[in-house]
Amino acid sequence: MSDKMYLCDEYKLYFKIEDDVEVLHNEVELYNAQFVGNNAFCHEEYIDGQRALTYSIPAMTTMNQFLEKKIHKDELVDLIFSIADQLMYLSIGKVILNKGYMYIDFQNMAVQLIFLPIDKPMDRCNMEKFIRDLMGNMKFANKKASDAGYELIKYFDHNPTFYLSEFYKFITDLKNDNIAHPEDEQELMKSAGVSPVNVAKVEVPE
């Protein structure tokens, strides 16, 4: 499989919503404010008489397309960190944790997540299932990358009850370890035309 992929400037998504479902505009404003890598924009509109939430997502590729290539350790850690970082700001139960609804910006390896700002019960978010499924669909570039994937799986083996703050600390430690001990993945990413990630040390909020 070639590591080449189709690159885009923006993606559009439309979610139909029932007329009796309330859109929480304070949550729309929260989501639309740029934060920790999120640059997506959501608004309510009617399309052919159907009420919908419309998303404009500035990203270069989909997660599914990205997973067609072999993934290096730095890329893996930065992707998972980006997801966890945004979940610290959003209601985790309203984020679609499905790789089919995730998009990647190569400028900072930020994952663009889809958040549903509606007043409606939703299926419980299952971070463990998402990580296990993601690792199962990932092709690792080398042993360092597969070891990082194993560390993620092992985290859930040892922590059957999921707490976002603890997982965020775990993935932040992995990211800071990458910064302290840079691997050859950065050079490989450069050769593939991917900009290196931000190398500032990440602090875990109190």
Cα separations in angstroms, 66 against 27, 73, 93, 107: 29, 14, 25, 14
Residues 6+ apart with CB under 8 A from 197: 74, 78, 108, 109
> What whole-number distance in Å separates Cα of residue 151 and Cα of residue 147?
6
On whether the CB atoms of residues 83 and 111 are closer than 8 A, the answer is yes
Task: Provide, rounded to the nearest whole percent, the portion of the chain with pLDDT above 90.
Answer: 67
Could you tell me which residue, 11 or 123, shows the higher pLDDT?
Answer: 11
Instruction: Tell whether the model's pLDDT for residue 132 goes beyond 70.
Output: yes
> What whole-number distance in Å separates Cα of residue 91 and Cα of residue 84?
12
On whether the CB atoms of residues 5 and 68 are closer than 8 A, the answer is yes
Instruction: Tell whether the model's pLDDT for residue 195 goes beyond 70.
Output: no
On whether the CB atoms of residues 131 and 142 are closer than 8 A, the answer is no
Q: How confident is the model at residue 32 (pLDDT cuts 50, 70, 90)?
A: very high
Give the pair of three-digit tokens for residue 180.
Answer: 């302290």
Polymer length in residues for the chain: 206
Nearest to 164 by CA among 86, 60, 74: 86
> What whole-number distance in Å separates Cα of residue 160 and Cα of residue 156?
6
pLDDT tens for residues 73-108? 999 999 999 999 999 999 888 999 999 999 998 778
CA angle, 189 as apex, 7 and 60 as ends, to 5°? 20
What is the average pLDDT score of the chain? 85
Arithmetic mean of pLDDT, 29-49: 91
Place of tokens 């989501």: 31
Arithmetic mean of pLDDT, 67-75: 94
